[in-house]
Structure 1
């Protein structure tokens, strides 16, 4: 069988690429700009192109047919409109990577199934994903376009550290603060339940849906069954670094009001909510699926990887200074109230 991945080297997709490359039943082709080639395993064919250059890509793929096409870098309906033009009649199954953040916020029930309504007034990213799903399902219903929609939640790998509050340059600055004995910010009171999924577990579920006729026309979430509080997640991180956790809890509203980035969307529209996923549908479609990497195990791997790779240790002085200002402002407010 033959698959085309658009992207294929990112946090979510790289593990799928690695596992699929080892499967003799699959021929894998990646289409991307070639900016990250060192992780591509032998035997995987790479077509170097920009998917946004539609005419060029159409010419490169003119004689190609695929059992599966998966676009890992589609974020708005226009991207899917292009994909439809490129792959109509050229694939037996088309995968769109949506997001579990598309589920309704606030949730009417913390237990999430694929039947949970899609509605997120807080985050434009999620609304774009919902619009993408609507577009593809209309094509499936009216034209039989063989779509499978995947909804990942917080998926991470060794080159990422899953956090709730971080700056624009990655997670290292939070780890650096911990190593320096400085306090770190946790949104809310840190007791909301959250689900972390290691990318190699996500890959097992994804590959099980590839070429699976029962998955066509379906939306499927792929997550771990493990739920942790944010306090637990940050405690695991501190323990992996061998330091004491000094946590400062700050309301999501305050964080969104004081940071120039989009904490309003990423917190109110996602990470500030308690989420527990029911993966019964995935397990029915992929018998035997189970996420086997516990969060403490995966986080320790990520920390060890960052410590061993200085090139990943990108500092973020702007975020660091903002953390200091937020923490100092809260302390000053508490002192002012006590003084009265």
Structure 2
């Protein structure tokens, strides 16, 4: 099978790239060549920028693929460019959507692929929904062979997955825990969340490549393990060898006392319980099962960072933001107790 990944070296996709090569697929990665350390041996890199439509068309001229996967399409404009570039040149086009597109808050705690796609809180999610709508319309009208995959919170060794965290400097959370500095958990920490290791996600995803039953379908791929946020942060603490000092703060307060946009993903995704029914991916890929519990996965992440000390960087702005948030919350709590 001849497969093209647009991207292919990111947090989720690097594990899929590795497994695809291990399964004997002829894998090409089309990207800017900025993360070559995550290119698996055996994959071929075509250097280019998918946002440069003319340049991408020139770089890919003469190629045809059984499957094309765009890991970095986020808007309908991105998807429209892909349709124009790959129509008639691939047997399957896979769009990476997001489980955050599901209705928030949903009417049923258990999320299936039939859960409505409605998220008024997060522009990222609304853009993904618009992409899905465009692709399914083109599939209906012209037979464009689309498959839609909706990852939820997927992580690998290069991530310390959490809610209110520094995405650019993920080690900051571990550093803060180890120094005994307080961290913030939204709400009372009892809402349920699903974290999926990228090696588990890869097993489900690779099974969709070239799978004719997946054409015209949307499917999510997640772990069956659901933990509450108190358990998640406790597991991070165990991996960091230090029990976290926790301050619980309401999501509304966090949104009101952090810079604009900081809490969009929290309000539009992580603050709402998310438990997934994985029956569909297990039907399409019968061998799929998630086998990495979070307690093990987060240990792998901490060990990986410790083996790469140059990446154990700390986000001073994020630290200041967290300190300010906790301070303001403490003042408000004292005022409230005084008046009550």
Give yes or no for TM over 0.5. Answer: yes
* Deviation readout 1:173-228 (Å, 9 max, x if unpaired): 21111010111001111111000000000000000011000000000000000000
Q: CA deviation at 1:17?
A: 0.6
Q: Which runs of 5+ in 1 are unaligned?
A: none
* Deviation readout 1:104-131 (Å, 9 max, x if unpaired): 0111111000000000000000000000
Residue aligning to 2:120 = 121
Residue aligning to 2:139 = 140
Task: With the length of structure 2 as denominator, give the TM-score of the two structures.
Answer: 0.97
Residue aligning to 1:330 = 329
Secondary structure at the aligned position of 1:196 is classed as strand
* Deviation readout 1:291-317 (Å, 9 max, x if unpaired): 000010001111111122122222111
Q: CA deviation at 1:261?
A: 4.7
d(CA) in 2 for partners of 1:208, 1:175: 34
Secondary structure at the aligned position of 1:274 is classed as coil
Q: CA deviation at 1:339?
A: 4.0
The aligned runs of 1:128-277 (5 Å cut-off) are: 128-167=127-166, 169-277=168-276
Q: CA deviation at 1:264?
A: 3.6
The aligned runs of 1:269-288 (5 Å cut-off) are: 269-288=268-287
d(CA) in 2 for partners of 1:167, 1:240: 18
- 8 Å CA contact 1:190, 1:230 repeated in 2: yes
* Deviation readout 1:254-312 (Å, 9 max, x if unpaired): 11111115234201110000010000000000012100000100011111111221222
Secondary structure at the aligned position of 2:323 is classed as helix
d(CA) in 2 for partners of 1:307, 1:214: 43
- 8 Å CA contact 2:71, 2:95 repeated in 1: yes
Secondary structure at the aligned position of 1:148 is classed as strand
Residue aligning to 1:13 = 13
d(CA) in 1 for partners of 2:311, 2:112: 35
d(CA) in 1 for partners of 2:334, 2:53: 60
Q: CA deviation at 1:168?
A: 5.2
* Deviation readout 1:45-87 (Å, 9 max, x if unpaired): 1000001111121122221110000000000000011001110
- 8 Å CA contact 2:258, 2:325 repeated in 1: no
Q: Which runs of 5+ in 2 are unaligned?
A: none
Does residue 57 of structure 1 match 2:50? no
Name the CA shift for 1:207/1:59 in 2 (closer, same or farther; >3 Å). same
d(CA) in 1 for partners of 2:134, 2:208: 21
d(CA) in 1 for partners of 2:20, 2:103: 33
Q: Which moved more, 1:168-177 or 1:131-140?
A: 168-177
The aligned runs of 1:14-29 (5 Å cut-off) are: 14-24=14-24, 26-29=25-28
Residue aligning to 1:303 = 302
Name the CA shift for 1:335/1:265 in 2 (closer, same or farther; >3 Å). closer
d(CA) in 1 for partners of 2:201, 2:217: 17
Secondary structure at the aligned position of 1:92 is classed as strand
Q: Which moved more, 1:322-331 or 1:123-132?
A: 322-331
Q: Which moved more, 1:186-195 or 1:310-319?
A: 310-319
Q: Which moved more, 1:111-120 or 1:325-334?
A: 325-334
Does residue 318 of structure 1 match 2:317? yes
Residue aligning to 1:84 = 83
Q: CA deviation at 1:91?
A: 0.2
- 8 Å CA contact 1:169, 1:314 repeated in 2: no
d(CA) in 1 for partners of 2:206, 2:18: 11
d(CA) in 1 for partners of 2:258, 2:324: 11
Task: With the length of structure 1 as denominator, give the TM-score of the two structures.
Answer: 0.97
- 8 Å CA contact 1:148, 1:218 repeated in 2: yes
Secondary structure at the aligned position of 1:209 is classed as coil
Name the CA shift for 1:65/1:249 in 2 (closer, same or farther; >3 Å). same
